[in-house]
A and B are shown apart, each in its own frame.
Chain A
Amino acid sequence: MASTVAQKRLFHEYKNLSTNPPEGITAGPVSEDDMFYWEALIQGPEETPFEGGVFAAELKFPRDYPLSPPTMKFIGGGVWHPNVYPNGTVCISILHPPGDDPNHYEHASERWSPIQSVEKILISVMSMLAEPNDESPANVEAAKMWRERRAEYEQKVRDEVKKGLGL
């Protein structure tokens, strides 16, 4: 199959991420046969209840990437977080195309643009773990707990992190 713009571009991003990875982030295609399906590992940011955790996620890229953004979903155990759906799907403005704004709170400037990248997405997700966006929660329960019972929320997150590490 002829290599398309999307494949080439994803390859460049992959090469860049593997030679020059940002701290705490690992990402790449699962198989070289399919550049449109990636997996990523993100370290829980320090000074947060997620610290010490390692979170795996899958990234799926559309054929017209980078015109449209990928989707991202945590796998292998959920992430208890206001902006992560119970099934693991990440809800963050950089993953939303500027055209549609289902949540009616995002500035176009925060949303996806073809010059964004996997690296920027993963960095955004890392900072999202540290600082949840309360305005439009994907996980209402988690958002409520975060807002009203912060200590309980943090304990739950720490417990999940330990569970994830097999401790």
Chain B
Amino acid sequence: MDQSFDLPDSTDWLETPLSLLAPFESSLRCQVCKDFFDNPVITSCSHTFCSLCIRRCLSTEGKCPACRSSDQELKLRRNWAVQELVDAFKLARPSVLELARRENTRLARGEEEIEKPAQKKRKVNHLEEEELQVPETNSQGRRTRSQKSIDSSARERTVPQIVPEVIEDSQDDEEYIPEDGLVACPICFRKMKEEAVFPHLNVHQQEEDSPKKTPTKTASFGSLKGAPQKGLNLPSKQPERLPAINYSILKDNALRKKLRDLGIPDWGQKQLLQRRHTEWMNLWNANCDSKHPKPKRVLLQELDIWERTQGGHATAPSPFTTSNNVMRKDFDASEWSNSHDDDFKRLIANARKKSEAKARQTIPGGCPSSSGQKEPQSQQGAGLPVDGARVEFGPDTDGNNVIDLSG
């Protein structure tokens, strides 16, 4: 549980100059579990979810959670492109976030005056443009030129061309043509006459077709080539998928035997057996969608977690047993309002400010009369500065939680 409190989240970007990456990251996350897509699959209605998430949805409801059209597990197809996007983004994320945060502190130090949101926004956008376009140039350039020259050039130029035209490349190359009039091969960097480059590239092509890789390639070039190949490699020993069972035609004992044969616990009433089998089937079949299937042992552990939280070992039939009973049963209003003093003060102050501003006077004068029945804080509440109030729900005390409702 503890580790869940430092879970990376798309909101991590919001307070950095790269706030536009927040929606980008959101789109790489499953709408059901809000985590990065894990073995993403696409439905008949073209929505993408984690394999396990959509299987659980379909086995309870039979409908796509996004558009509610009916679908079947059998029609789910793996979405490798999304998997690669997620994998690549997860790799890049820590360093980009680190960079963005450092930039943020640098900006904060640079501007002593209290930042006006609008001003800051403009600055932010400008920065984003720069930051986002640099990699774009890179990826274009990689096709024809060395990573090194791009890195240096990207910094100097104010460039970013968006249409990948051949002409543009040759224009760029003019900057780099040395005085001898020779150009470098984009792969091995050997200098040669411009006309000679294309015939020369064929040599590299042949080298590539032969099983042995050229050792002269730079690391970045090699890794680029490697990535898509990795995606196409399927593990040779795919585990067999489990078929769905029509539970209604199975007697208790037959179902129990099925579970035993699968190697999962076989105790409990028929309804529990069904639910356990469904969960196992979802875990198992989702694992079949994985590029690197987990061993059965791991799946059994996951089933055990399910057993303890939702299955036969769940503490009670009511899902709310661990809820704070004192809070629910004999709810102590004054205790509660004390603990939420700040929230109340802020919202009340806020509400007063608004109604005063609008001069609608649904609340007479906003003056704190002493007629309040219970809360002492309502009297103090009136003069409280709105922006001074902080709300802290949990262990995050890094200032993320300042909630401003005035805007």
Q: Which residues of A contact B (CB under 8 A)?
A: 1-9, 11-16, 18-21, 23-26, 28-37, 39, 41, 43-44, 46, 49, 51-54, 56, 58, 60-64, 66-67, 75-77, 98-99, 108-109, 113-115, 158, 161-163, 165-167
**Chain A residues whose C-beta falls within 8 Å of the C-beta of B368 in the assembled complex:** 166-167
Is B198 part of the binding interface, using a Cβ–Cβ cutoff of 8 Å?
no
Cβ of A167 to closest chain B Cβ, rounded Å: 6
Residues in A neighbouring B393, C-beta threshold 8 A: 14, 18, 28-29, 32
Tell me the complex Cα distance, A31–B393, Å: 7
B36-57: CB near A (< 8 Å → 1, else 0) gives 0000000000000000010011
Main secondary structure, interface of A, reads mixed
Contacts of B34 in A (CB 8 A): 8-9, 12-13
Residues on B close to A: CB < 8 A?
1, 3-5, 7, 9-11, 14-15, 31-35, 53, 56-57, 60-61, 63, 65-66, 68, 305, 308-310, 314, 319-320, 322-324, 327-328, 331, 333, 336-337, 340, 343-344, 347-348, 350-352, 354-355, 358, 360, 362-364, 368-369, 371-375, 378-379, 391, 393-396, 400-401, 403, 405, 407
A76 to B343, CA, bound (A): 14
In the assembled complex, which residues on chain B have CB atoms less than 8 Å from the CB atom of A62?
Answer: 319-320
A162 and B364 CA atoms in complex are apart in Å by 9
Inter-chain contact A36/B1, CB cutoff 8 Å: no
User: Given A98-B61, A165-B363: A63 and B314 within 8 A (CB)?
Assistant: yes
Is B362 touching A52 in the complex (CB atoms < 8 A)? yes
Instruction: Evaluate whether A67 and B1 lie within 8 angstroms (CB atoms) in the complex, with A54-B347, A76-B336 already known.
Output: no
6 A-B pairs within 8 Å (CB atoms) are namely: A20-B14, A32-B393, A32-B395, A52-B362, A98-B61, A114-B31
Docked CA distance A16–B373 (Å): 35
Contacts of B328 in A (CB 8 A): 58
Residues of the B chain whose Cβ atoms lie less than 8 Å from the Cβ of A54? 344, 347-348, 351
